[in-house]
Amino acid sequence: MSEWTVNELFERMASHGNGAYGLSDVTQLDHALQSADLARQRGMSEAMVIAALFHDCGHLLDIEDVDLASQGIDDRHEQSSADALLPIFGESVSEPVRLHVAAKRYLCSVERDYFDRLSDDSKLSLELQGGTLSSDEIAAFEKHPHFRDGVELRRIDDEAKVAGLDVPGLDAYLDTASRLARKAG
Ligand SMILES: [Fe+2]
């Protein structure tokens, strides 16, 4: 895949974000905007706000991508999303995104009721993504420099599925994203 610019990312999100987000009642764009808004409300860094906005962008950049999870296939969208974000924004944006699926496996392993609170499609994809972690894998995950951001992004991801919620649109994030990209470049 060729490298994307900030403007291309935003345009792609605007033009291709209308598909359903998994089995939920919100679109991909709703989910992205709710995620970014939660990061902002929680006072997270600008990098985390942009990571939240684009954490699933791999779904939108690869137009061949259909809902693979429902067909029993792990789409590994965290890798395609992070790979697209790394050259534009650097690791503070890309690496929490890369970890957000592993963070689900981690939280299912260390928090007793986390799995029960997951949406149906997140429960369905857990096994495809490798299931829960062993104690060695938990310890290794906690050593990752972006571990905490990955876990916080995951919690946002889980919550950003509210049908009909009114949140700021894409334009609200263009200046921040452009500034981060210039800093990284
Ligand atoms: Fe997501």
Distance 178 CA to ligand 1 centre (A): 22
Distance 157 CA to ligand 1 centre (A): 5
Question: Is the pLDDT assigned to residue 1 strictly greater than 70?
Answer: no
Distance 49 CA to ligand 1 centre (A): 13
Arithmetic mean of pLDDT over the chain: 91
Question: What's the Cα-to-Cα distance from 172 to each of 16, 34, 94, 97, 146, rounded to whole Å?
Answer: 18, 12, 20, 20, 26
| Average pLDDT estimate for 151-171 | 96
Distance 31 CA to ligand 1 centre (A): 7
Residue 125: pLDDT band by 50, 70, 90 thresholds?
confident
Which pTM value belongs to this model? Answer: 0.91
Task: Say how far apart CA 159 and CA 167 lie, in whole Å.
Answer: 14
| Model pLDDT for residues 131-140, shown as the tens digit of each residue | 999 999 999 9
Q: For the chain, which residues make up each domain, given as ranges?
A: 6-98+153-184
Q: CATH second-level architecture of 6-98+153-184?
A: Orthogonal Bundle (1.10)
Question: Is the pLDDT assigned to residue 118 strictly greater than 60?
Answer: yes
Distance 55 CA to ligand 1 centre (A): 6
Question: Is the pLDDT assigned to residue 150 strictly greater than 80?
Answer: yes
